[in-house]
Amino acid sequence: MLFKNATKMYKAIDKALWKLRCTDLTIDLTEIVSKRKKYANKCNAPYNKENEKKTITFRGTLLPNEVVTVKINGKPSDSVIHFLGKSVILRVADLKDQIARASLTLLSIPIRTTENTLTLIGYLLERILKIKGSNDENKKHVTRLDNSISFNTLFKECGLNAEDKRQRYEIRKNVKKILDFFKNQDFIANYELIQTPDGDFSIKIFF
């Protein structure tokens, strides 16, 4: 088994997907499209004064999906999720060039797979992509993010239990393994582990 409590995790994932499948969302893009020509073009809405009077919306579920039954190795399985397309949030984010993309290779880290390590990988990947995006010279209106990550923030954001020194050491060791892999894949140029005056550690990322 991939996880010690795989059944519990499966139920949690199934519940989350059900909520995403049933949650309806409508996003009004009228103001954005009326002011920005490139968005109007992507919506196939001509950019002119008449367009300012039109209402342009995206409507859909948070994540269109369905559960299907298929045969795997000759045995029927009802645990297969079929995604029906992009969610409305992804469509709007793509329209506004707000999606950060990374190679799937970055998920192939040679590290013991646990719930905690998967959480760490996801957090570091997302945080580094945000830092990279905020430092893109072509995005003039984006707030620049600091390229340092505090371990206290990491523990809190990932919901990790780090009450004693041994647990903190294990988490730092896994973070280093992940960042070493990111460096070998040229996702980052380098990183530095810095000890703060209060005895905590932070990570400085270089691109």
Q: Tell the residue number behind the tokens 């994932």, with chain if given.
A: 13
Identify the bridge partners of residue 68 per DSSP, sorted by sequence position: 80
- Give the mean model confidence (pLDDT) for residues 53-72: 78
Q: Report the candidate in 183, 123, 179, 205 with the shortest Cα–Cα distance to residue 156.
A: 123
| pLDDT value, residue 183 | 95
Q: Which residue type does 117 have? A: T
pLDDT for 122-169, tens place per residue? 999 989 988 887 776 666 556 677 888 988 888 888 887 767 778 888
How many CB atoms within 10 Å of residue 35? 11
- The dihedrals phi and psi of 103, each to the nearest 5 degrees, come to -70, 140
| pLDDT value, residue 128 | 92
22 and 83 share a domain? Answer: yes
| pLDDT value, residue 5 | 54
| pLDDT value, residue 167 | 82
112 and 60 share a domain? Answer: no
47 and 108 share a domain? Answer: no
116: its two tokens: 């905690």
181 and 115 share a domain? Answer: yes
More confident residue, 66 or 48: 66
Q: Which residue type does 63 have? A: L
pLDDT over threshold 60, residue 46: no
115 and 198 share a domain? Answer: yes
Domain boundary among 40, 75, 95: 95
Model confidence at 101, pLDDT cuts 50, 70, 90, reads confident
pLDDT over threshold 70, residue 45: no
Helices marked H in the chain:
6-22, 30-35, 37-42, 88-95, 115-134, 151-158, 165-184
112 and 35 share a domain? Answer: no
Q: Name the percent of the chain lying above pLDDT 90.
A: 15
Q: Report the candidate in 81, 86, 87, 79 with the shortest Cα–Cα distance to residue 66.
A: 81
Whether the CA torsion 152, 157, 159, 160 is positive or negative: it is negative
Report if residue 58 sits inside a domain. yes
| pLDDT value, residue 175 | 93
Domain boundary among 95, 127, 152: 95
| pLDDT value, residue 184 | 94
**For the domain that residue 197 is a member of, what is the CATH number?**
3.30.1370
For 112, the domain range is 104-206
What is the total count of domains within the chain? 2
119 and 191 share a domain? Answer: yes
Report if residue 1 sits inside a domain. no
- Mean pLDDT is lowest, of 27-41, 83-97, 149-163, 166-180, for 27-41
| pLDDT value, residue 179 | 96
85 and 146 share a domain? Answer: no
Model confidence at 3, pLDDT cuts 50, 70, 90, reads very low
Average pLDDT score, the chain: 79
Predicted TM-score (pTM) of the model is 0.62
Report if residue 11 sits inside a domain. yes
More confident residue, 40 or 76: 76
Domain boundary among 77, 95, 113: 95
